[in-house]
Amino acid sequence: MFLIVQNDPHCPAGGLVGILEESGHPYRCLAAYAAEPFPDPATLAGIVVLGGEMGVHDTVEHPHLARVLEFIEAAIKAGTPLLGICLGGQLLSHATGGVVSSPSCHGEMGICRVELNGEGSADPLFAGVPTPFVTFQLHGDSFTVPPGGTLLASSGACPAQAFRLPGSVYGVQFHPEVDRAIVDGWDGLFTPRADYLSGFISAETEFNAASRAILANFISLATAARLP
């Protein structure tokens, strides 16, 4: 089973659910913000940790983040494949010795293009993804690549967009899971209304192709990694 960890009620799994259903893999969405208990990560095929309005250092205001960090650490020790998205990627970086800046000078909002480096172009997470590729971004914080990690992608505004750790463990700063409804809901909820939706719609075909490939690739990687 795949586990989707939701950190914020306004940041759902979006298109990831459809890809999991199409692939036939069972999954569960866990509302970490509602104090739902975590399963043993060793029993899972893969884990996706989603984003949220809060930051990794906001554990007093959002105590569930401390539990998510502990779960990420346990998942890495268990060898369970994991993909951290935006806040999820920042939590992964923080849990493994990286630095998360809050606020950061590398913040981005809306449609942005991201460049794969040589390692990223060769990485199976980005198989079939062109460079540059279209992403949707909404982050005021940013991560560094943790010790032992490999930088895979960057943008003009944000030098660390994706990294890999051993064992099919990945962190990305962008949001491959979002769809029109999520983008429209975020516009004005987390930031002053800036009409992110029209920009998203104009780039939606390219966005969907790259994002679906990344998410499907992670599911395939995780499945292969857990085969006996």
Instruction: Indicate if 36 belongs to the active site.
Output: no
Q: List, for residues 174-218, the tens digit of each pLDDT value.
A: 999 999 999 999 988 877 777 899 999 999 999 999 999 999 999
Global confidence as pTM = 0.96
Active site residue 175: yes
Q: Which of 62, 64, 94, 175 is catalytic?
A: 175
The active-site residue, picked from 53, 108, 177, 204, is 177
Question: According to the model, what pLDDT value does residue 189 have?
Answer: 83
Quote the tokens at residue 109.
């909002």
**What are the Cα distances from residue 98, in Å, to 20, 56, 163, 168, 171?**
30, 12, 11, 17, 11
Specify whether the CB–CB gap between 66 and 59 falls below 8 A.
yes
196-220 b/e (C-beta count within 10 Å ≥ 16 → b): bbebbeebbebbeebbbbbbbbbbb
Model confidence pLDDT, tens digit, residues 90-111? 999 999 999 999 898 999 999 9
Closest of 8, 166, 6 to residue 84, by C-alpha:
6
**Distance (Å, rounded) from C-alpha 161 to C-alpha 45?**
25
Burial class (CB in 10 A: 0-12, 13-18, 19+), 68: buried
Given the residues 11, 86, 112, 158, select the one marked as catalytic: 86
For strands 27-31 and 2-6, give the pairing.
parallel
Known catalytic residue: 86?
A: yes
pLDDT computed for residue 27 by the predictor = 97
